[in-house]
Structure 1
Amino acid sequence: MNNKINLPNDDRSCGWYAALPPRPDCKRLQGEQRADYAVIGAGYAGLAAARRLAEHLPEARILLVDAQRVGEGASGRNSGFAIDLPHKFSLEHPDPAHKQRLLGLNRTAISQLQGLIERYGIACQWSHAGKYQGAVGPRGLAYLEHFEHLLRDLGEPYRWVERAELGGVLGTGHYSRAIFTPGCYLMQPAALVAGLADSLPANVELLEESPIQRLERDGQGGWILHGRNGHICTPQVLLATSIFTQEFGYLRNRLLPVMTFASWTRPLSDAEMAAYGGQLDWGLTPADHAGTTVRMTQDRRLIIRNTYKHVPKYGSSTSDGMREQIRVGHRRSLLARYPQLAEVPFTHTWGGVYAISRNFTNFFGELEPGVHASACDNGVGVAWGTISGTMLADQVVGAESQQLRDIRAVTGMPSLNPPEPFLGLGVRSRIRLASWSSRSEL
C-alpha cells in the first residue's frame, strides 16, 4: 500500500462543533493493539458499523479509529438534514424498484437513528420537521415542477406551499413557491455524532486523533494498520472513510472530492426574532441544486449554505482567504432574504468535504479479502452513512436480510474519472457554470 496519504485537514471554524460543550480527553492509538475488527472512520458509517458488529459479537474486541475528534469531520459539518427521499439524480433512475429500495433504506436509517436518540437521550435538536424545496425565479420553478413529477411517479406525499404561507414560516418573501415533503428530520449534526459515539457498546473502543497512514498485509491473511504512534493487527478492516478511501489505494480515480460551505449567525435576540417574523426549526433546500440551502435552528441561528469547490487535497485545498470570500457571498444571500437582519453577524464559516461519483453510484462491499468499505455517499451522508455502515457489518458477519440484498442491488462501482489535469479543469468549469446559471437562486 502507499506510504504517504493525504489526511483530513478540516478548518477549525465549524459552528456545529464549536457550539458543543468541550469534549473529554480522548484515547489515542498507542503501541501494538490487536482487535477482531478495526473500523476506520468515526462518522455515521463507521459509528453504525462498529455498533452493529458489537451487537452481533458482544465478546469481540472492536476498535473504531478516527484521524480527528468525533464530530470534527464531514459528519459533523453538514447542514443537519436526515433526508429520506433520494436526491434528484437517483429519483430520475428508470427502475421504480431501485428508487423504492433507496427510499426504504433511507427510512430504515432514520428510524434507527431516532431509536438511538430516544434510548440514550442524545440532545441533538432532533426534529421531525419535514423539508421545503424552494424556488426563487423561473429557473427554480422549472426545477420544482420537475421535482413534483418525480414525486408523483414515486407515489410520495407532498404539498405545494405558496409565497404567503411560505413567508410566514421562513420570515422572508424571497421565495415564490416551495414543495413540502414530510419525511425529513432536522438535527444538530455534530451533537448527534458525539452522542452516537458516547453511547457505543462496551466492546467498542474509540481511538481519536489517531490517523491511520498505511495498511499492510501481515503475511497470515490479516492486516496491520499503521498509525503515528502505534499499529493495529486485525483480520478484518472496515473502511468507513468516504473520500479518503482512495488514500488507502482503493477506488482510485473513481471518487470526486467536493467541498460545500456554510455560514451561520449567532442566536437571534428577542428583538431580532420579532424583526425576522418567521418560525423556528425549519430547513429549505434549493429546487435548483446549485442554489442556496437555508435553515433556522431551534436555538435561533440562521444558516446559509452554498458554494462548491473541487478540493483534490481536501482541507488543504482551502484557505482562510477562500473562506472569507465565501463568507462575503453568504452575506449577500442572507441579506437578499433578510435585509431586516443586516446587523446580525456570521460567527462561523466552514466547509465539509464529501465524495461524489460521475455515475452517482455508491460503493458497498469487499474490496479485497479482509477489507470492506462503504464509500461515496453522493451527498446523502446521514441516512446513507448510517444504513450502509450497518449493512456492511451485517455482510462481514454473514447476517443476511432483505435490507442487505437491497443495498447490494442499488450499489455498484463508481465510474472512472478522466486523468488530471483534465479532471480538475472539467470539475471546476462545471461548478463555475452551475454557479453562474443558478445565480438567480443563490
Structure 2
Amino acid sequence: MIALPNDDRSCGWYDVLTTAAPSKKMSGEQNADFVVIGAGFAGLAAARRLAERQPNARIVLVDAQRIAEGASGRNSGFVIDLPHKFALEHPDPAHKQKLLSLNRSAISQLQQLVDDYQIDCQWSAVGKYQGAVGARGQAHLDHFEALMKDLGEPFRVVEQTELAKVLGTNYYSRAIFTPGTYLMQPAALVRGLGNNLPENVDVFEQTPIRKIQQQGQKWLLHADDGTLKTPKVLLATSIFTREFGYLKNRLLPVMTFASWTRPLSDAELERYQGELNWGLTPADHAGTTLRMTADRRILIRNTYKHVPKYAASVNDQTRQWVQGEHYKALRARYPDFADIPLTHTWGGVYAISRNFTNFFGQLENGVYASACDNGVGAAWGTVSGGLLADLAIQADSQALQDIQYVTGMPSLNPPEPFLGLGVKFRIGLAKWQSRSEL
C-alpha cells in the first residue's frame, strides 16, 4: 500500500496562481520508453533532459498531484548556489567546489528556461542575507564567515543599521550577504516549467502510481485506471521513494512550515520603510527564515516536525499552533504590523538523512533515483534530475562524475520507536537552543 502525498490545500504560493487547465489523467494500458515519477524540480528536469537527448522517445511524467502542489511548490522561494551550512564544513575542498559548481549549473539552467519561456515567477538575482539576532546567532555567523573565507567566495558583512534599511526592522543585529542566490515564486516557476516541456513528454497529473513490479526486462507501473510499461523508471520522488521499497530505512521525513500575510497596502508599505524582494535565512539553522516578496507579502518560516505519515501526520490543530508560533515571530520583528493577518499557513515534506548524504544513482536494473535533498531542493532537484536522465541513457559528462563524487548512501536509521523519539528530541532540543533566534 503506497502512502501518497496529502495536500492540505493551504499553500499560499499555489493558492494565488491562476486556475490551472484541467488535468490529464492516465488510463488504459500504455507503453513508454522512460517513465519519470514525480513532477517537482527533479522530475521536470529529468523529463526535459530525456526528451532533449532522445527526441524520438516517448517520455511519460506522472505525478499523484497537480504540478506545483507538492514540495517543490511549497519552499520559501530560494535557489541557493552555496552548499548547505553542513556541507560547507566538509573536510574535502573538492567536494565543496563540486557542489558549488552543480548548484550554479542548476541556476543557469533555470535562468535560461525562465527567459526562454517568459515564466512569470518573480525570478530575481538579488542574493540573500544570513541573519543573527543574539549572541548565539552571532557565533554561528562568525563561523559562517570563516567558512566563506576558506571557500574563497564573495560575501559582505552587513551591520544592524544598514540591515534595518533593507528589512524594515532592527530585530537583527548583523547579517552576511552572499550574492549568488536567486529568489522566485516556487509554485509559479514549477507550473511554468511543467507547461513548457518538450512535445515528446506526456504529462499525467492526479495519477498516483500504486505499485511497481518487474515484468521480464520491463517494469509495470499500476495506476488507478491503467498501467504503464517501460524499460526504465526514474524516481524523482524524494521522501516517497521509500514507498516503492527503496531506501526504506535511510530517509527521514521532516516537514517545515511557513505562513505569509496578505500584500501590504500602500499605507502599510510606507510604515514598513524597508525594501521589497529580499530573503533572509537564519545563521542558526533552527531559527527563522524571513522574506519580503516582490508582491509585498511578509513570509515567516520556522517550526519543524517529524512526519512519519507525511502530511497526514499534521491536522488543523497542529497548523493553528504553528500559525500562532509564526504570529509571535512576525510581531517580534514588526510590532507595528500586529494587526495584519497571516492568510495562509502550510507545510512541505522533504527528506533528510542522518549522515547528511544525498542519494543519486541506480537502485536496480532499470530503476534510477535522486532522493534526499536535505532541505535544499530547488537547485539540487534541478541539477540532479537532469543528470539522472544522463545516467539512465549513459551520457557521461564532468557534471555527472561530479554528482557521483558528492553523493552516496544515506545511513541507516535506528528502528522505531527509537527513531521517532530521537528525532522528536533533537527537534525539540534545537528549538530550545535556538529560542533567542526565533
TM-score, scaled to structure 2: 1.00
Distance 1:179 1:22 in 2: 39
Distance apart, 1:386 and its partner CA: 0.2
1:28 and 2:15 correspond: no
Identify the match of residue 402 of structure 2 among 402, 406, 409: 406
Q: Which amino acid aligns with 1:117?
A: V
1:440 paired residue number = 436
2:229 paired residue number = 233
1:360 paired residue number = 356
Q: Cα deviations across residues 254-300 of structure 1 (Å, max 9, x unaligned)?
A: 00000000000000000000111100000000000000000000000
1:53 paired residue number = 50
Q: Which amino acid aligns with 1:210?
A: T
Distance 1:80 1:186 in 2: 5
Distance 1:332 1:405 in 2: 46
Size of the aligned set, in residue pairs, is: 438
Within a 5 Å distance, the mapping from 1:113-132 to structure 2 comes to: 113-132=110-129
2:264 paired residue number = 268
1:350 and 2:346 correspond: yes
Identify the match of residue 290 of structure 1 among 286, 294, 310: 286
Does the residue aligned with 1:359 lie in a helix, a strand or coil? coil
1:84 paired residue number = 81
Distance 1:243 1:326 in 2: 22
Distance 2:69 2:170 in 1: 35
Identify the match of residue 317 of structure 2 among 313, 317, 321: 321
Distance 1:430 1:341 in 2: 33
1:138 paired residue number = 135
Q: Which amino acid aligns with 2:168?
A: G
1:148 and 2:184 correspond: no
1:335 paired residue number = 331
Identify the match of residue 12 of structure 2 among 9, 12, 15: 15
Q: Cα deviations across residues 66-123 of structure 1 (Å, max 9, x unaligned)?
A: 0000000000000000000011110000000000000000000000000000000000
Q: Which runs of 4+ in 1 moved over 4 A?
A: none
Distance 2:329 2:21 in 1: 37
Does the residue aligned with 1:308 lie in a helix, a strand or coil? strand
Identify the match of residue 214 of structure 2 among 213, 217, 221: 217
Identify the match of residue 386 of structure 1 among 382, 397, 411: 382
1:242 paired residue number = 238
Distance apart, 1:10 and its partner CA: 2.4
1:182 paired residue number = 179
Q: Which amino acid aligns with 1:86?
A: P
Distance 1:419 1:133 in 2: 36
Does the residue aligned with 1:200 lie in a helix, a strand or coil? coil
Distance 2:269 2:183 in 1: 20
Q: Is the 8 A contact 1:134 1:140 kept in 2?
A: yes
Gaps of 5+ in 2: none
TM-score, scaled to structure 1: 0.99
Gaps of 5+ in 1: none
Q: Cα deviations across residues 154-195 of structure 1 (Å, max 9, x unaligned)?
A: 000001000000000000000000000000000000000000
Q: Is the 8 A contact 1:257 1:312 kept in 2?
A: yes
Q: Is the 8 A contact 1:10 1:352 kept in 2?
A: no
Q: State which drifts further: 394-403 or 96-105.
A: 394-403
